[in-house]
Amino acid sequence: MTDQLVVLGVTGSIAAYKALDVASALVQRGVTVRVVMTSSATRFVAPLSFESVTHHPVLQDLWSEQPDMDISHIRLAQAATVLAVVPATANSIAGLALGLAGDALGATALASRAPLVLAPAMNSSMWSHPATQQHVEILRQRGATFIGPGTGYLAEGTTGVGRLADPAEIVNAILGRLNSAQSLAGQHIVVTAGPTYEAIDPVRYIGNRSSGKMGFAVAEAAASRGATVTLISGPTKLAAPDGVEMH
């Protein structure tokens, strides 16, 4: 794999065929693309189509994995520079927001800390439903980037909001996240976090109630952008973020 790896999730929408254009455009720009398809996505586009474009096998089923397989969803999750879901159905958006891991895509997403790019495609009523909008807001608060949906002719013969964004727009958004994802590569960042205790005598001290959550989040974000991060923490119950050296 190259340093720039896009894990492309494809879900069950008639717009799934447009994900082929996204995958092809990324590959032509020198990006390694590994595709994860839901079972419903394979009803619209054959996995062989993506394998032909990306030159890599498609991950479809957690149960077919072997421990030494290069395409293991955990390895993909850890190696991903960006995780993109194109198209993202209402069902897949709900699963990502709730952290469901019932299929290969959900498990890969849950195991990954890569930036998330989502290109929704669905019926207008499904997109505007309060449940969908709540799930979208949850993912936005976690830092996910949404591209679209656009307004136009939909598969059911009506016109409205829910059309998949133009593949070129999606590609540009993914490339933008790829560039920002490694914006701190080569930098060594030291972050201090958590409460501090200064002794007055062997019994008493002066301290504060800092939880450390903000500093830990800063350290995790810096690491995700390619920095070498050293985290110096006071006593907390928080675990060290992945890829961060903590003292």
| Exposure string over 193-228, b if 16+ CB within 10 A, otherwise e | bbeeeeeeeeeeeeeeeeebeebbebbbbbbbbbbb
CA distances from 2 to 23, 81, 86, 130 (A): 15, 10, 21, 40
- Alpha helices for the chain (secondary structure H): 18-28, 47-54, 73-79, 90-98, 104-111, 124-128, 130-141, 167-181, 213-224
Pick from 78, 87, 80: which is nearest to 18 by CA? 87
Distance CA 25, CA 170 (A): 10
What would the two tokens of residue 209 be?
A: 């109630």
Which of 123, 172, 179, 208 is flagged as catalytic?
208
Respond yes or no: is residue 172 known to be catalytic: no
Which amino acid, residue 236?
Answer: T
Distance CA 222, CA 185 (A): 9
Decide: 184 and 225 in contact? Cβ < 8 Å. yes
- 232 three-class SS: strand
Decide: 5 and 80 in contact? Cβ < 8 Å. yes
Decide: 232 and 205 in contact? Cβ < 8 Å. no
**Active-site residue set:** 208
